[in-house]
Structures are given as C-alpha cells and as structure tokens.
Structure 1
Amino acid sequence: MTRTQDGPISWQDLPIRDDLRGLSPYGAPQLDVPVLLNTNENPYPPPPELIADLRVAVTAAATTLNRYPDRDAVELRKDLAQYLGHGLTGANLWAANGSNEVIQQILQCFAGSGRAALGFEPSYSMHRLISLATGTTWIAEPRESDFSLDPAKAVAAIRRHQPDVVFLTSPNNPTGTAAPMELVEAIVDAAPGIVVIDEAYAEFFRPGTASALTLLPGRPRLIVTRTMSKAFAMAGARVGYLAADPAVIDALLLVRLPYHLSALTQAAARTALAHVDALLGTVDAVKAQRDRIVSELTTLGLPVVPSDANFVAFGVNRESDNGAARRETKAVWQALLDRGVLVRDVGLPGMLRVTAGTPEETGAFLAALTETLL
C-alpha cells in the first residue's frame, strides 16, 4: 500500500527486523477497578517509616543529580549480598532496572544471534520474548500435564538441543510451584552453557523449599535472579538483581549500558534493604491469603495448582462439570471484572491466575468467583 507523507502508518509498516514481525508487546491489562489481583504485586504499601527514610535518601541523592551515579552500584550490591547471605559478597551480585533488564543483559552477553535459549513452558513469557528481542533462537520444551518437570526428560532435552542458555523458573510463573532441588541440580549439571534459575518469588516459598543459591559454590555458569518488586513491595522502583560467580558479573559489564541504574533508584533500593524486616513482615500475611485461596477453591471443587508464590493458578471448571456446559476462561475473567475484580488470563486453557491480596481483596475475589460459578 502506498502511503502519503502525511498519512498515518502503523509500526508494521516500518522497516523493523523480520523476526519481530508477528510479536505482540508484553503487558497485563491496566484497568481502574476496585480489586487488582492480576500482576502479582504485594498488596501492602511500604510502611511509613520506610517512606520517611526514602524522602531523606532521595533528597540527598537529588543534590548530586548533576553527576553520574555509581556506575556499578557497588554499595547496593554489598547490601544485596548481606540480605541474601549464603556467604555471598558484593562481587557475586549484580543489579539492574528490574529482573527483566537483568535477563536482557544475560542474553546479550551469553546468547544472541546464532545462539539458543531453552525454557520449559508454560513459564514466564518474558524469557521467550527477551530471547527473541536479542536475536536468540528460543526453544520451548513442554512441562507435564500437572506443570511439573521430569528431571530425566529435562536433561534429555538439554542434551538434544545443547542450548547456550537454559531458563528454569522457581516458583514457576504462571503456575506457582517451586522446582525440587534434584531437578535444579540435574539441569545445572547437564547444561553446556549458562543456567538461569529465576527466583522472583523465592521469599514466598513454602517451608522446607530450598533456594538455588545453595548450589552456587563451584558452579560458575549458574545464575540465580531475584527482584525487589514482589516481597519488598517495590515494584514501582524497578530493581532486579542476580547472584552468580564474580566472573559472570565481569562478563555482564561488557553489555551493560553506562550508568544504567540511576542514583535515585540505588538510594531507594538501599533504603528498602535497611528496612528488610518490616518489608518482609508482609510476606507471611500474603502467604496466608495464598493458602486461603488454595483451600477455598479446592472446597469449591476447582482444580488448583499448589503454589510457592504469591499467586494461585486455578481451573474455572469443576471436575463435576464434565458432563455440563464448560465455562470459557474469558467469560469467567469478564464475569469477575464485571464484579470489580481483575485477575490474569495467562493463556492456559481453562485456567486463570489470581494474586493473593489483602484479606478484604481475597474475600472479594472469592465472593465474586463463587457468584460466577452459580
């Protein structure tokens, strides 16, 4: 189609890379409704004492905004190492603008054109999207019908494809269950390149669940990614980080943009880490609502995926509905929205995902869902 100089065009008319055509931008609906339970945010705002200290820290940082920030966020990385423990130091940590930028830097460094990344789907879709955006070939291997992974099958897939990067999400998003440590070890030991264990929701692990941080010693190609968006209630600050062998961080310096993490962001993150007890005090409250959702949806007869995260994936049809008219996922999503509750349709057939909110928000969701099922 010929277009005039003044005529409107779409992005598809621009000379973008061929491998980006057909893709859609990532993003959850941002709607103004009373109960927002679709993006796995912490429902509790930062406590007043943190807000007061943030005001002081950001004001102090603002006085130096005519200068570039600490290029490598050295002090923040020390604080993050102290928070994680496991014998880590600042040399083992790296921080960026959300864990998605961390993932992007990993792929820019260790993947890219002519290389491949492998993930086990369904899982966090940004692993695939950032892989494609960096020119990396994406290889999807399926999970079992219950969303678990068989270690032998996972190892066989890795040996068959020989990927440069392997992603394993634990707890898995959007399904919620953490990976057993024997599965993590099998994947790490089988992979020929970098293995990324995405632990964005690790603070919500059920008791007895181990972190891949315990596997870091002696495994220089293992990376564990984390975020301050969930348990720390700092989604708006955009702070993600990773723990790895210092050699990994040295390699990432080759691709990170200069001064990528602003002075204000670093100040906010360090202030939050100084209030870690207060911030993580909300985790148990969120986990209680998560377990409440699992219990009450099970009582309703709906299939529920056990969760180690701050969300729950659930089916919209009872097993007893097999002989009756099946509810459509989009119809249930819309019915909940009509009742003022926004959950997430993550593309799993017959399933939705709901974030654990405050007791009042969780109650509103359960009441709306029960009414929808009548």
Structure 2
Amino acid sequence: MSAANPPSDLLLPVRADLAGLEPYGAPQLRVKACLNVNENPYAPSDEVVEDIAASVREAAGTLNRYPDRDFPQLRQALADYLEVESGVRREPETLWAANGSNEIMVQLLQAFGGPGRTVVSFAPTYSMYHGYARDTNTRWVQGARGEDFELDLQVVQRVMREERPSVVLLASPNNPTGTALPVEVQMKVLDLARTTGPQEDGRVCASLVVIDEAYSEFRREGVPSALELLAGNPHLVVTRTMSKAFGMAGLRLGYMSASREVLDAVMLVRLPYHLSALTQAAALAALRHANELMAQVASLRAERDALVTWLGDQGLRTAPSDANFVLFGTFEDREAVFRGLLERGVLIRVVGPQGWLRVSVGTPEEMELFRNSLLEVIR
C-alpha cells in the first residue's frame, strides 16, 4: 500500500489533551446583519484601500528578501498613534507587533508560561485565553467574576495567592461582557501581583499582568487606558489590536507595549521573520489614515449607548459596555432567540453565562433590523 493511502486504522500521535476538541471559530454565514464577532461594520474608504494597495505593491518588489524582523518603522507609527489615542507616550522600543493579538498572547505564554507554570483569568471572559494556555502547556486556572461581571478583589487575591500564577490575563473592556476595569482595580491587582508569582531559585517572582485592550478605543469618556500604568510596573503588559476600531480585522495585526525586559523575553520565542513585509506595509498605510479610520468610533459608541437604552426600555438587562458590543438578556431559552434572529437575517452570538446573548454594534440600518427582529422574536 502506498504512503498516500495509509490503512484506515493508522493512529497519529496527536497530543492526548487535544483529543475530541473542536477548533475555535464563530459561525461565518451570509446574512443581512452579521453582528456576532465584534467587527467594525464600516469598510475602509477608497483612499485607504488605494494607499494600502500601493504600499503592498511596493513591498511586493522586495519579496525575495526576508522582512525586517524588528520593524522599527511600524513600531514608531504605533507609538505615535498611541500617544494621540491615549495621551501616553511610549518609546518604539517598548512596542511589539505580531499577527493579531492572539499571537502576542501565545508569545507571552511561550516566554512566561509553559510546563510547571500557571495562567489565571476570571470568567466570564474571552474563551481563547484557555486555548492559549493549552497550546503552550501552561496550567489554566479560572476564577469567577461577581454577579455584576466586575472583578471581586477578594476572589482575585485568594486565587493569585493560592495558585502563584506566572501570568494573569485580564481583558478591559472584557469580552463578552463589555465591562472595563476601573483604574483603581488595575492598580490593586498590579500591587498584589508583585509577590504572587512562582518561586525561582528561592526567590518569589512577580506575576505578569496582561491587560487586553482589544476594544479600548470604544471606552466611554473619562475611562483611562492601562497604558498610563506601564511606568513603574515592569510586570504589566498592555495589548491592543487593529482588528476592531481600525476596521482591519482582515489585516491580522496585534501589538503590545511592555517593559524592555518583557520584550527581551518575547524575542527569544518569536518565530523568525514572523511579521511579513506585506503585513508591515499594509499596517503602516492604515496607520497613516488613523484619523479617518477612527472617525467611525464616535458613531459606534453613540449607537452602542442608544442600543443599551433601547434594550432597557424593552425590559431586558444589559452589562455596562465600554466596547463595540452589548451583552444582554436574560432569556429562558437563549438558543431559541438566537435562531429566531438568524431566521430574520441577523447573526449574533450565544456566549457568556446562561441566558445571555451578545450583539455587536453595526451600522444604523443593521441595528434597526436587529431591533425589529428582536421584538418579533420575544413578543
């Protein structure tokens, strides 16, 4: 029998902890209103598309060479953008980018997690955090948030002191709830984390605290970024993405800001030339149009706030949201509500605690369809 047609009883040596698991992925369906994966609903303008195309075309002429593995131009552009967006100036040497914030998280756990190490988070939160831990052979421990979806500092303190995590993953705004971490809570967690890490050579390490700000540009007026806390906290990492507010989900560009000690560790585990020349060129072009791409953020915030008010008027509960989505409920049969909306061309997400659903903020036309469809389903 040829190697191309092995016997049907041939067993492959897949890892035992992966047996029977399903890969991550939200449904991708052709519907009138795709409101399930928290994308920016507005496509880039012709001007942005033309700039990206021209930049990629220029980069394509050098594809016989490896890309710049340290991408200083992109890091400078990201630093300039963050200064405008958050008011915090970070040196380019303290920024790092990868293929989506997913790869950033995996790199961090490759460097600071691994066998014999523990990563902690608090549910409900982003389901892929568990996957990052699994993929890097890092032990996963999940504490619980309060009924209001806020962090309970007593629970956080107990879990961190008992588990001695090398990494703590916290999303702000949190997914799927949309809740942001108050700055005083972030500061208390950072203070606690100074002495809750594993022991190395008889010394107690800090826990690396990763605050995932994938939706940070959508935060409400007066809500600060965790970037403000990086100075004086070398065990803090703040991650961002161009997938959400920038409307560049297809670009796959995530980035982080952290101390140089953290970046030095990540350099050891990154794949060689992990960020392609085409990705770098496209990201730089998009950043040149940051003002235009960010112009839709204000309208999406307003649409979100109007949606929260409307859902409340219908007698439904919502979680306070600083993101571009709203968690709402509660329903005795949320699957039935989901199916009813889908039958009407509206795709949302079944996620979070039992009884809750999550809807991304779309265009005014998409939100009108969602509201009309939801009324038909629940009445």
TM-score range, shorter chain: over 0.9
Which residue, out of 17, 37, 40, partners 1:39?
37
Partner of 1:250: 264
Taking only the aligned residue pairs, the percentage that are identical comes to 52
The change in CA–CA distance for 1:361 and 1:8 in structure 2 (over 3 A counts) is farther
Residue 316 of structure 1: how far off its partner (Å) = 4.0
Residue 8 of structure 1: how far off its partner (Å) = 8.2
Partner of 1:336: 341
Which residue, out of 44, 48, 51, partners 1:50?
48
CA contact (8 A) 2:96 2:263 kept: yes
What SS is found at the alignment partner of 1:237? coil
Distance 2:346 2:9 in 1: 37
What per-residue deviation string (whole Å, max 9, x for no partner) do you get for residues 86-123 of structure 1?
Answer: 12111010000000000000000000111000001110
More moved, 346-355 vs 252-261: 346-355
Which residue, out of 244, 248, 266, partners 1:230?
244
Distance 1:98 1:80 in 2: 14
Partner of 2:6: 5
Q: Which one-letter code corresponds to 2:281 in the other structure? A: A
Distance 1:247 1:40 in 2: 33
Distance 2:301 2:38 in 1: 12
Distance 2:343 2:212 in 1: 34
Q: Which one-letter code corresponds to 2:244 in the other structure? A: K
Partner of 1:110: 112
Partner of 1:360: 365
Partner of 1:20: 18
Which residue, out of 310, 325, 345, partners 1:296?
310
Q: Which one-letter code corresponds to 1:228 in the other structure? A: M
Q: Which one-letter code corresponds to 1:239 in the other structure? A: L
Residue 19 of structure 1: how far off its partner (Å) = 2.1
Residue 155 of structure 1: how far off its partner (Å) = 2.1
Can you give the 5+ residue segments of structure 2 that lack an aligned partner in the other structure?
194-205
Distance 1:369 1:43 in 2: 20
Distance 1:177 1:358 in 2: 22
Which residue, out of 59, 62, 65, partners 2:63?
65
Residue 149 of structure 1: how far off its partner (Å) = 1.1
Residue 22 of structure 1: how far off its partner (Å) = 4.0
TM-score (norm 1): 0.94
Q: Which one-letter code corresponds to 1:65 in the other structure? A: L
What per-residue deviation string (whole Å, max 9, x for no partner) do you get for residues 10-64 of structure 1?
Answer: xxx5321122224321110011111100000000011221111112111100100
Partner of 2:226: 212
Distance 1:247 1:131 in 2: 22
Which residue, out of 363, 369, 374, partners 1:369?
374
Partner of 1:273: 287
Distance 1:22 1:126 in 2: 17
Partner of 2:326: 312
Distance 2:319 2:62 in 1: 49
CA contact (8 A) 1:316 1:332 kept: no
Can you give the 5+ residue segments of structure 1 that lack an aligned partner in the other structure?
318-325
Distance 2:147 2:43 in 1: 37
TM-score (norm 2): 0.92
What SS is found at the alignment partner of 1:282? helix
Partner of 1:321: none
Distance 1:352 1:268 in 2: 34
What SS is found at the alignment partner of 2:268? coil
More moved, 142-151 vs 37-46: 142-151
CA contact (8 A) 1:343 1:352 kept: yes
CA contact (8 A) 2:124 2:352 kept: no
C-alpha RMSD over aligned residues: 1.3
Aligned length: 359
Distance 1:8 1:184 in 2: 53
More moved, 288-297 vs 195-204: 288-297
Q: Which one-letter code corresponds to 1:112 in the other structure? A: G
Distance 1:330 1:221 in 2: 41
